[in-house]
Structure 1
Amino acid sequence: MCRNIKTLFNFEPPATDAEIQASALQFVRKLSGFNRPSQANEAAFDRAVEEVAAAAHRLFASLHTHAPSRDRAVEAEKAKERSRLRFG
Structure 2
Amino acid sequence: MCRNIKMLFNFDPPATAEEIRAASLQFVRKLSGFNKPSKANEAAFTSAVEAVTEISTELLQSLETSAPPKNREIEAAKARKRSADRHPS
Q: TM-score, normalised by structure 1?
A: 0.97
Aligned to 2:61, the other structure's residue is in SS state helix
Report the equivalent of 1:47. 47
Q: 1:64 aligned to 2:76?
A: no
Deviation, 1:61, is: 1.3
**Structure 2 Cα separation of the partners of residues 83 and 44 of structure 1:** 35
Please list every run of 5 or more consecutive structure 1 residues that lacks an aligned counterpart in the other structure. none
**Structure 2 Cα separation of the partners of residues 40 and 78 of structure 1:** 42
Please list every run of 5 or more consecutive structure 2 residues that lacks an aligned counterpart in the other structure. none
Report the equivalent of 1:80. 80
In structure 1, what residue type is equivalent to 2:59? L
**Structure 1 Cα separation of the partners of residues 14 and 53 of structure 2:** 15
Q: 1:38 aligned to 2:38?
A: yes
Report the equivalent of 2:27. 27
Aligned to 2:86, the other structure's residue is in SS state helix
Deviating beyond 2 angstroms after TM superposition, the runs of 4 or more aligned structure 1 residues are none
What is the Cα-based RMSD across aligned positions, in Å? 0.6
Q: TM-score, normalised by structure 2?
A: 0.96
Deviation, 1:35, is: 0.4
Aligned to 2:57, the other structure's residue is in SS state helix
